[in-house]
Structure 1
Amino acid sequence: MDGVAASGETVTAATALAGLILVYLGSLAASFGTFQPQEQKTVRPRYQKRAWVAFAGLAIALLSASLGVLGKWLPNECMANAAVIILLVAFAWGIGIALLTAQEVG
């Protein structure tokens, strides 16, 4: 299967992953908001680190989706293939986010 033919699936997977990461970011923000202002100063660095790592994963997933849309629209094989490769990076990034979170919890 060529990249252009897989673009639809790539866009679907990338936007689904971006949505999951966005939910994770919302959960982080909600969790951070439960702390009192004095406590927030203490936990802010840890929450900021997790939020920026998640934001980077969101950006990578959306880059993959964007390239997938453009690759199918133009149709550009190189762009579509790049979307698939970047999607794989986004999947790995998502696993990394989950692993870091699991390590912090226990």
Structure 2
Amino acid sequence: MFSNATALVRDHIAAHGAAWGDILTAQPFPVGGSALKNVPKGFDPAHPQAEYLKYKSWYIEDPVPDALLLEGDFVPYAVERFLAMKPLNDFLNEALRDFQMPTR
């Protein structure tokens, strides 16, 4: 939806590929997103993170088992999972630091 935001994230991944890889290795969640068939122009198809440079959006999800909600153990679980998600969120926020929402 915001091509300039997508470009900022791709540029950040390309420039900080090792950090991106470390985050993905350390977290228990797979990163998903809609992706192009090829690496966009201007990016090296041999880049170690080339698959993620194809993405147009990036997300992680963590399905919560119903039993966790019913047994009352959700809050400690959520805290643990949110803390595990934080490095990826921080990385994306850093990539989008200069992003400005379009005005109408």
TM-score clears 0.5: no
What is the TM-score with the length of structure 1 in the denominator?
0.34
